[in-house]
Amino acid sequence: MSQLPKPNTEELRAKYPSAFDRPASARLALPAMTVAALAVFVYGLVDLDFSPSRLIAGLSQLGWITMLMIPPNPGASFPLYMQALGETLSIALLGTTLAALLALPVSLLAARNIIPSNLIRFPVRRFLDSIRGVDTLIWALVWINVVGLGPFAGVLAIMVSDFGAFGKLFSEAIEAADRKQVEGIRASGGNTLHEIRFGLLPQVLPVIAGQVLYFIESNTRSATIIGIVGAGGIGLQLAEQIRVLEWQKVSFLILMILIAVAAIDFISSKLRFAIIGQRAVA
Amino acid sequence: MATAVSILPAQQLATLEEAYRSSVSRKRLKAALAAAIFCAALVIAAFGAEVNLRTLFTYFGNFVSYFDRILTLESGARVWTDFPEWFWGWKKWLRMLGETVLISYVGTLTGAVFAFALNFFAAQNTSPAPWLRFAVRRLLEFARTVPGIVFALIFVIAFGLGPMAGVLAIAIHSTGALGKLFAEIVENADMKPVEGIRSTGASWLSCMRFAVLPQVSAGYASYALLRFEINVREASVMGFVGAGGIGQELVVAIHKFYYSDVSAILVTIIITVFIIDISTGWLRGRLFGKETRR
């Protein structure tokens, strides 16, 4: 076998100085960052009371729990669970729709091409950010204080927390819209409302519809858990069964959630394709 | 005045208008049908969710007055008139917030490491065997579909109360979410370098290390940072089920009607989330250039 000629390192070094003599700061940056990240990680493990013995004890406990979960069995509560699942789906659908309806006008205020003035846009955006910064579960707790325990509090919680997300997403969709149609409407003598209705909305509605469908899907997930704090739906049943250690029922409920989410995934992706076309989804 | 737009002859115009009308009316019919189905679904949902507008209107005052109450100190003054009184527990709250951020950091990093270990098996173009790919995919799907807080509920029973359950729950959920995104990045990677490395007789592992990893590592880091942002929010409610962090304090304050504490803790959470959002956005911009900032 023939060997390749030995590389002439000196010549290469002279030819590509940037590859051979990188400054120390560039060479050290990655190791330094890795070490720092690891140091914070280890500090976190210590500070959060991680210990191997606890981990092993917990894992063996978890193994037991998993054994107890098999086979999944709803007992006599199957109709109750189906009703709870229906409640969850209702919460997701209603909460998302209401949020979208409320967010549409507000998102116009947050879009740069509708409201050029920073004076209005900035507070509206910070307001939306603050709503988004608070988790859905916290909103659920607040609404439980207002309308009492039950799925209605869940609807309102999803509505409020999605309002923040939609406001931001819609305003981004509006900002990405083409200016030319709006100018065309203005040139033919339309007023601002005409511009929005005929120039802007036809462009952004498909995008918005896609996002709303996507959120209905992801809210099915959120709606399954807000029951944990008492806002109705299947999470309520799940939290109760976990607390009384009925593991077969727990695994059955988790299975139900998985199937429901998969079904919603399937339906909403079909609908999204139908609304915005195959290639726009990507 | 001469018209700038020429008008077509009448019969030509009529056929055009006819075609236009029929196409528009078909579209309208479809839209109306879809809207009707949607409205019916909403009505059914309203019954399912026990929506009661009377309750809402009766108690809507409560919603407004709730904010009024949480923005009032015990002495009856507005909270912002007396900051030391409002944030009386700031030392404790900051410690809990630190714990929350630490929970999400440790959880995200652990999840990212597991996702990194699994994603090459889940990606179509790098997976060594179809059955392995199928198994890893289902595993990741399971980890990401079951909500993190459900894992937390179960882990609190297995590992005891405390942040450990929260960290593990976040780690599992992040593994699922990041594993999928990582695998998608790998599927978009250029396969020519892999062929090059393989032609030198290298093993699968070296192919991944020297051909795929250099292409995808920036994308990995970017997604991991995004996930960290999301996890901080999630960790702030882990305390609701006893899995550590600031949520514990918040749920106690809400249940015991310590009104001004509720608003103070909410404000600190919101500010923390802002700071994390802004700093990870800045970091992503620094590390990967403007175009990867989304």
A117-149 per-position pLDDT tens digit = 778 888 888 888 888 878 888 888 888 887 888
Answer for the pair A265, A176: CB distance below 8 angstroms, yes or no. no
Higher pLDDT, A233 or B132: B132
Q: How far apart are CA A128 and CA B178, in angstroms?
A: 27
Q: What integer is the mean pLDDT of B229-255?
A: 86
Q: What is residue B2's predicted lDDT score, i.e. its pLDDT?
A: 59
Q: Of all helices (H) and strands (E), which one includes residue B100? A: helix B90-122
Q: What integer is the mean pLDDT of B267-291?
A: 79
Q: How many CB atoms lie within 10 A of CB B266?
A: 21
Answer for the pair B120, B127: CB distance below 8 angstroms, yes or no. yes
Q: What is residue B293's predicted lDDT score, i.e. its pLDDT?
A: 41
- Residue type (1 letter), A86: G
**pLDDT tier at B174, thresholds 50, 70, 90:** very high
Q: How far apart are CA B149 and CA B152, in angstroms?
A: 5
Chain A residues within 8 A of B140 when measuring between CB atoms: none
Mention every residue, 6+ apart, whose C-beta is less than 8 A from residue B54: none
**B287 contacts chain A (CB < 8 A):** no
Tokens encoding A41? 């990680």
Chain A residues within 8 A of B246 when measuring between CB atoms: none
Q: How many CB atoms lie within 10 A of CB A172?
A: 16
Q: How far apart are CA A254 and CA A247, in angstroms?
A: 10
In chain B, whose CA is at the least distance from the CA of A237? B150
- Residue type (1 letter), B141: E
Helices vs. strands in chain A: H and E counts, helices first: 14, 0
Answer for the pair A181, A203: CB distance below 8 angstroms, yes or no. yes
Q: How far apart are CA B185 and CA A20, in angstroms?
A: 30
Chain B residues within 8 A of A41 when measuring between CB atoms: 105-106, 109
> Closest Cα to residue B106, out of B154, B149, B169?
B169
Q: What is residue A12's predicted lDDT score, i.e. its pLDDT?
A: 80
Cα A198 → chain centroid: 31
Q: What is residue B289's predicted lDDT score, i.e. its pLDDT?
A: 60
Q: How far apart are CA B193 and CA B199, in angstroms?
A: 10
Coil, strand or helix at B126? coil
Coil, strand or helix at A173? helix
Answer for the pair A161, A154: CB distance below 8 angstroms, yes or no. no
Residue B291 has pLDDT above 60, yes or no: no
Q: Whole-prediction pTM value?
A: 0.79
Per-residue model confidence as pLDDT tens digits over A169-205: 888 888 888 888 888 888 888 888 888 888 888 888 8
**pLDDT tier at A280, thresholds 50, 70, 90:** very low
Per-residue model confidence as pLDDT tens digits over B89-110: 788 888 888 899 999 999 999 9
Higher pLDDT, B97 or B87: B97
Residue B16 has pLDDT above 60, yes or no: yes
Tell me the sheet residues that pair with B72. B78
Q: What is residue A165's predicted lDDT score, i.e. its pLDDT?
A: 86
Q: What integer is the mean pLDDT of B171-175?
A: 93
**pLDDT tier at A2, thresholds 50, 70, 90:** low
Residue B62 has pLDDT above 80, yes or no: no
> ipTM score of the complex?
0.77
Q: How far apart are CA B77 and CA A76, in angstroms?
A: 54
Residue B7 has pLDDT above 80, yes or no: no
Q: Count interface pairs A-B at CB distance under 8 A.
A: 166
> Rounded to the nearest 5°, which phi and psi values hold at B72?
-120, 135
Chain A residues within 8 A of B157 when measuring between CB atoms: 61, 65, 242, 245
Per-residue model confidence as pLDDT tens digits over B184-193: 888 888 888 8
**pLDDT tier at B3, thresholds 50, 70, 90:** low
Q: Of all helices (H) and strands (E), which one includes residue A54? A: helix A52-69
Q: What is residue B294's predicted lDDT score, i.e. its pLDDT?
A: 41
Q: What is residue B113's predicted lDDT score, i.e. its pLDDT?
A: 93
In chain B, whose CA is at the least distance from the CA of A131? B270
Q: Of all helices (H) and strands (E), which one includes residue A267? A: helix A247-276
Tokens encoding B90? 């700031």
Residue A282 has pLDDT above 80, yes or no: no
Q: How far apart are CA B294 and CA B287, in angstroms?
A: 14
Tell me the sheet residues that pair with B78. B72
Q: How far apart are CA B196 and CA B214, in angstroms?
A: 14
Nearest by CB: B150 against A130, A254, A262? A254
**A202 contacts chain B (CB < 8 A):** no
Q: What is residue B226's predicted lDDT score, i.e. its pLDDT?
A: 86
Q: What is residue B108's predicted lDDT score, i.e. its pLDDT?
A: 93
CA B199, B202, B203 angle in degrees (round to 5)? 130
Per-residue model confidence as pLDDT tens digits over A80-104: 888 888 888 888 888 888 898 898 8
**B71 contacts chain A (CB < 8 A):** no
Nearest by CB: A94 against B42, B236, B237? B42
In chain B, whose CA is at the least distance from the CA of A29? B287
Q: What is residue B106's predicted lDDT score, i.e. its pLDDT?
A: 93
Chain A residues within 8 A of B102 when measuring between CB atoms: 43-44, 47-48
Answer for the pair B251, B239: CB distance below 8 angstroms, yes or no. yes
Residue B160 has pLDDT above 80, yes or no: yes
Answer for the pair B120, B208: CB distance below 8 angstroms, yes or no. yes
What one-character DSSP code corresponds to residue B162? S
Q: What is residue B223's predicted lDDT score, i.e. its pLDDT?
A: 86
- Residue type (1 letter), B48: G
Mention every residue, 6+ apart, whose C-beta is less than 8 A from residue A46: none
Q: What integer is the mean pLDDT of A28-43?
A: 86
**pLDDT tier at B56, thresholds 50, 70, 90:** confident
**pLDDT tier at A78, thresholds 50, 70, 90:** confident
Residue B248 has pLDDT above 80, yes or no: yes
Which of B116-145 are b and which e, b meaning 16 or more Cβ less than 10 Å from the residue's Cβ?
bebbbbbbeebbeeeeebeebbebbbebbb
Q: Do B237 and A257 touch (CB under 8 A)?
A: no
Per-residue model confidence as pLDDT tens digits over A206-218: 778 878 887 887 7
Residue B141 has pLDDT above 70, yes or no: yes
**pLDDT tier at B201, thresholds 50, 70, 90:** confident
Coil, strand or helix at A56? helix
> Closest Cα to residue A22, out of A32, A31, A13?
A13
Answer for the pair A214, A92: CB distance below 8 angstroms, yes or no. no
What percent of chain A has pLDDT above 90?
0
Q: How far apart are CA B72 and CA A68, in angstroms?
A: 49
What percent of chain A has pLDDT above 70?
96
Taken in order B248, B249, B250, B252, the sign of the CA dihedral is positive
